[in-house]
Amino acid sequence: MEMSRTAHEVNVSKILAYSSTLPKVKTQKSVSQSNVCWSKMLPPALDSAEQEAVYRVLESINSDVPWRTLFPDDFCISAPHGVVCDYFFDTTPSSSAVTPHITELSFGYVSDYSPNPPCNSNSTLDPFLFSPLSHLRKLFFYKCFTQMEIPFPDFSPLSSQNSSVEELIFIENPAINGSISGKLSSFRRFVLTGSNVSGEIPRGFAELMNLEQLSISRNKFEGEIPTNFFHKLKKLKILDLSENGFRGNIPESIGNLTELLKIDMSFNGFSGEIPENFKGLKGLEFLDLSYNHFGNFGVPLFLGEMKSLKEVYLSGNFLGGQIPEIWENLGGILRIGLSGTGLVGNIPASMGTYLRNVCYLGLDNNKLEGPVPNEFGTLEFVSELNLENNKLGGRVPFYPNLEKS
């Protein structure tokens, strides 16, 4: 059954929402330009090889713009938005020189606040172009590859040169297809959303011990997640595998990722039982397992031990059973989705007693019966309550914040 996903509408802000929790990493040897005193001397010039490399990358992204004419000066002095330069102390003992290097490249106009260099229909991407950029830490592409089909680039050339790239981000690039191949760099963030990349999840991700965010939603990945996939990903904070074709059981090893803040595995084909060792994820705030094929094991009781949860979505899985009495320690929850989960019996009054901060509660399309608890009338922050397509009766308490339909 197709269900609306208005509560989860995908856009750039959602994709990057939890990313703001990740720390900005700079090497200890880098210094911001504002902290460097140049006295009466001019700042050191960017290496000509790096300057030329940036020109070539810009021209590959949008050859319609005369980049060399518009920006003839040193990119560390004058550059398009999205081209970021940083200054580094020389590590040689006999020198105290400071040298500039390009550290970030972002492409694709996001908004007036992020007017990165615009892409065009002929945008291309050759990882070899980045080779001279020895201190490059971040690559970002938003709606750059939308028409002319290109395979997902092989970034092995960067990896083989001990690349410093920590963040690789592709958002809304539907013309990128193929599979991810080659050696992966030591990424801290890997984001690939809204593309047409397919195949199994690359096993190389399992070796990225510094990985903090893995978001590969809305692609065409498929297959099962290897049992030992999560063993080394101890720093992972954000895991988003939503809207792909994954199937099979969720590996038990996911319960060892104690740094996790967000898990989104919705709209896949995962099956079996939701792993009980999720309860070890004490800091988890967001859990979305909706619209999979999890079995008839009931609403997981271990949710009652996950006190940091703010949002939990299990809709579209036939879990069955009654709504359990697990809400006493979950007063921080804001949104709960249990639509179409095969629930039977009464709605427990404890939901109204303990879920004092909830603003969305979806219990529709189940087989619930009996009266709606009077305690629901005290849920002062509730703005969306869906109880339709059940066998509920009696009087519905007054909800002051519910929008009129």
- Of 1.20.1730.10, 3.40.50.300, 3.80.10.10, 3.40.50.2300, the CATH number of 305-314+333-405 is 3.80.10.10
Residue 405 has pLDDT above 80, yes or no: no
Q: What is the mean pLDDT of the chain?
A: 88
Tokens of 263: 């898990």
Burial class (CB in 10 A: 0-12, 13-18, 19+), 309: buried
> What is the mean predicted confidence (pLDDT) over 306-328?
97
Please write the tens of the pLDDT for every residue from 30-55. Answer: 554 445 554 456 778 999 999 999 99
Q: Tell me, what's the pLDDT at 95?
A: 57
Out of 20-34, 105-119, 343-357, pick the least confident.
Answer: 20-34
Domain ranges of the chain: 305-314+333-405
**pTM attached to this predicted model:** 0.88
Please write the tens of the pLDDT for every residue from 132-190. Answer: 998 999 999 999 999 999 999 988 777 655 668 899 999 999 999 999 987 887 899 99
Distance separating alpha carbons of residues 70 and 389, to the nearest angstrom: 61
Please write the tens of the pLDDT for every residue from 236-264. Answer: 999 999 999 999 999 999 998 999 999 99
Q: Tell me, what's the pLDDT at 3?
A: 44
Residue 310 has pLDDT above 90, yes or no: yes
